[in-house]
Structure 1
Amino acid sequence: MSKNSSLGFSTFRELEALKPKEKRYSVRYTPSQKLFIEVLPTGVKSWCYRYTLNGKQDKLVLGHYPDVSIKDARQLRDEAASLVAKGISPKQDKTKPQSILFKDYGERYLEEVIKKDRKDPYSMTLYLNNDIYPMLGHLQLEQITVDDVRRTIWRKKEQGYDSAANQVRGLLKRMFDYAMTLGYVPYNPVLAIPVRHIHKAKPRDRYLSSDEIRNYYTTLLNSRVYRARKLGLMLSLLTLVRKSELLRARWEHIDFESRIWLIPETKADSATGHSREMVVYMSDQVIEIFKELKTIAGNEPFVFVGRKSGTHISHNALNTAQKSALALTDIPDFTVHDLRRTASTHLNEQGFNSDAIEACLNHTAKGVRGIYNKAIYEKERTEMLQKWSDYIFSVIYEPNLIFFNQSKAKSTAY
């Protein structure tokens, strides 16, 4: 191999200008000690850190450019140099187990980090079991590459869930940060995949017009989507609750006589980090929907029954049902969460008390108003949610008489 170590570069443009030759050659990155780019005849450019340990010279390949940027390469080089300074080979730390499966490490991370930092580890556990372990669980932790990580993240992205792909990336980054702390890996491969290339968060303002509500729900209710999922998407619009709260609904918290659905824990407040309970005042239509769901669920504890007894449906179940029906229409794209915004927008346009609407969304009012809002809007919320259900049914009932007649036939008395 030709080692043109006298050559050097220090800028992005100089790096881009390096062209392949007949033989492999290396060029030193002058701002960082012992960091080089190797250029192969094929045009592939690889970052390398050269070091001396125990009197022997060695080389650590840090990754390919442009997958690994100049900034990332410098950080990876510094991490490797720190190990060398301690007498530890960055290729293989002799103080750590020789091999550990990523899934085994993931379970340790779940117990030692996630469950200690989060009151509810549910979503992180889902990402591990559904998105990360199927792709990386069988691999040795120290052998996982940037390409392995990229495939894992892009699998979620290609499913159409950019925001979730970004969550997977964030979880993987934190997992590899902890693995570095434990000495399991010399560097974090997730750093080679910038957040900006995965997901750019944009404030959403999407809501459905009355015509879109009629067209979408007519299509949904006449589709082949499983009936319980159809009813779930109806409840999402009628009750204004979050999808996660709907998925985890339990029969023990639904009181048909008092017409109340208690949600013991909702999404944690961004200011305090604490969850809070919520009460949903059920309309006549919501009660009928829950009665039919009770017939479907039988003796199961959850309203929306999962594949295994005693479990609820998965995080993506309603997403899949919603997308299946949406694909049969020409309605612009929207998400399950947008149904909350749809309800809020229409209720505000119809002149209802904005504080009562915010209470139904379980948003925290600031200041003194927030202290009293918990109780004083019970009457307003009860009346408002009944009128909201009446309005929605006036929009969608007539085109779906067959569906609702079936619902009446299947419901049971309470």
Structure 2
Amino acid sequence: MAIGKRELDKVLINPAGKQVMHNHELGLSLRESAKGVLTWQGKYSFEGKQYRVDYGHYPQMSLRKAEDAHAETRHLVAEGIDPKLERQQEVVITVKDLCREWMAKYAAHHRKRLAIPEREIKADINPSIGHIKLSILKVRHINQCIDQIMARGSKAHARKILGLLRQICAWGVRRGYLKNDPTASLRKSECYTPKPRERYLNREEIALVWKKLPELGLSVQVVLATKILLLTGQRRSEITLSKWQHLDLESGSWFIPETKNGKPHKIPLSKQVISLFEELKEYSNNSQYVMPSPKGDGPMSEKVITRAIARKQSHFGIEHWTPHDLRRTAISGMNGIGVMPHIVELLVNHSLPEMLRVYVQGKQDSELFEMQRDALEQWSNHIQEVCHASGKA
């Protein structure tokens, strides 16, 4: 006999004090735990094996709703679909769920720097539209998220987040989580069309920045890292994500396993840069990272350097500059003192254009590496000469 509403209420009021299974009909039952917790369960057979699936607790889930849930289970089995797998798919019901799945099933296998999309999802997507159900997700919700970022003046960042949302939604369509892509009609150019930056520091500005950096109350790590970026032409993330195991200060080399173009990179170090890294190590508190975060076990964010320089921008008394401009300064500066263009390109991990490849044909990697070392020593000596000549060393 199927258990009815009257029997359910009796069980609720007078628990058995032990685990009991109260059968209803067609494989639906109510499991009573020793502590009196009542859980609706459905029993079904799929591909010759018996399974049970939980639907919810009584009285939060009524008998009628439990019957409906079990009817759906039986319908799926009749269609040749495993209800457990189908229920796992149903967990992805909001934008936040979709972002989580994208991180786990796509980004983890195809993105080298997971911390970046993870941070952007947490800071910009989830707080704005993370709660929106995928079944009602529309282009207006995407615009809402982007408009909020635009409103705070971050046009370039809004463009970046829209690009991320386009990746996630397109993947969601391919996986069947979304029927339509709400970002399909949107273009990143509507947020912001970036203009290539041409800013680099001239001789006088280099000397001024070199002198001012230690005088502005910036952290020693930021000061040292900024000088290393100027002397090597590398990117912010390449120093913040580096570990001490990647540096061989005795032989003077720096291995960068992950770069923007996806290729690992190894560069020689000038004597001055080795000295700066040795000083930086004194402030790493035995961390594995060259620039550890003060808030945990991970590395410092590259944005720490950018924000620190931005806060002190007015103290330099020159045209606005950013830490990334130091990379352009190094490239321009080395070319200016006579370093061969193909050596400069190799130092900053650029792919050589066809017209420059002829200069490396037949040369051993070790020979090219030492040529790069000579170039960085020249650049380092040039920086020192510029500072001394300006009386600002």
Specify the TM-score bucket, using the shorter chain as the normaliser: 0.5 to 0.7
Give ranges in structure 2 of 5+ residues lacking alignment: 1-87
Q: Deviations along 1:225-263, whole A, 9 cap, x unmatched?
A: 222112111111111112221121111121121122222
> Any gaps of 5 or more consecutive residues in structure 1?
1-94, 269-274, 402-414
- Cα shift at 1:158: 5.6
**1:351 match: secondary structure:** coil
Q: Return closer, same or farther for 1:251/1:158 CA change in 2, 3 Å cut-off.
A: farther
Out of 331, 339, 344, which is 2:331 matched to? 344
> Counterpart of 2:233?
240
- Alignment match of 1:297 (pick from 284, 305, 327): 284
TM-score (norm 1): 0.64
Say if 1:381 and 1:181 are closer, same or farther in 2 by CA, change over 3 A: closer
The aligned counterpart of 1:391 is 382
| Cα pair distance change 1:286/1:105, threshold 3 Å | same
**What is residue 3 of structure 1 aligned with on the other side?**
none
Amino acid at match of 1:363: H
Equivalents in 2 of 1:135, 1:373: separation in Å?
53
Match of 1:218 in 2: 211
Deviation at 1:189, TM superposition (A): 3.5
Q: Distance in 1 between matches of 2:209 and 2:153?
A: 20
User: After the TM superposition, which of the residue ranges 246-255 and 257-266 deviates more from structure 2?
Assistant: 257-266
Q: Could you report, residue by residue, the CA deviation over 1:80-119 in whole angstroms, capped at 9, with x for unpaired residues? A: xxxxxxxxxxxxxxx9749723222211111222233334
| Cα shift at 1:297 | 0.4
CA distance in 1, matches of 2:341, 2:364: 11
1:267 aligns to what?
260
Equivalence for 1:71: none
Could you tell me which residue of structure 2 aligns to residue 313 of structure 1?
300
Q: Does 1:250 align with 2:243?
A: yes
Cα drift, residue 370 of structure 1: 4.9
Q: Which moved more, 1:116-125 or 1:383-392?
A: 116-125
Change (3 A) 1:354 1:177: closer
1:298-336 deviation line (CA, Å, top 9, x unaligned): 210011111444311113122112212224344223332
Matches within 5 A, 1:148-187: 148-157=141-150, 161-187=154-180
- Does 96-105 or 107-116 show the bigger shift? 96-105
Moved more, 365-374 or 295-304: 365-374
Q: Which moved more, 1:228-237 or 1:126-135?
A: 126-135
Amino acid at match of 1:263: I
Partner of 1:282: 269
Residue 199 of structure 1: which of 192, 212, 215 is its match? 192
Residues 27-86 of structure 1: per-residue CA shift (max 9 Å, x gap): xxxxxxxxxxxxxxxxxxxxxxxxxxxxxxxxxxxxxxxxxxxxxxxxxxxxxxxxxxxx
Over aligned residues, Cα RMSD in angstroms?
Answer: 3.0
CA contact (8 A) 1:219 1:325 kept: no
In 2, the alpha carbon distance for the partners of 1:105 and 1:191 equals 17
Letter in 2 for 1:384: A
Instruction: Find the structure with the greater CA-based Rg.
Output: 2
CA contact (8 A) 2:91 2:97 kept: no
- Distance in 1, matches of 2:118 and 2:329, equals 30
- CA distance 1:157–1:226, change in 2 (3 Å): farther
Task: Please say if residues 206 and 341 of structure 1, whose CA atoms lie closer than 8 Å, have aligned partners that are also in contact.
Answer: yes
Q: Per-residue deviation at 1:190?
A: 3.1
1:375 and 2:375 correspond: no
CA distance in 2, matches of 1:322, 1:113: 35
Corresponding letter in the other structure for 2:313: L
Shift of 1:148: 4.3
Q: Which moved more, 1:317-326 or 1:330-339?
A: 330-339
Say if 1:283 and 1:389, in contact at 8 Å, map to a contact too.
yes
Q: SS of the residue aligned with 2:97?
A: helix
Aligned amino acid, residue 241 of structure 2: R
Q: Distance in 1 between matches of 2:320 and 2:118?
A: 28
CA contact under 8 A between 1:221 and 1:400: conserved in structure 2?
A: no
Cα deviation, 1:329-372, whole Å, max 9, x if unaligned, reads 44223332221111111111111222221121112224454554
Deviations 1:264-300 (A, max 9, x none): 33232xxxxxx33322222222122111211110210
Deviation at 1:159? 6.0
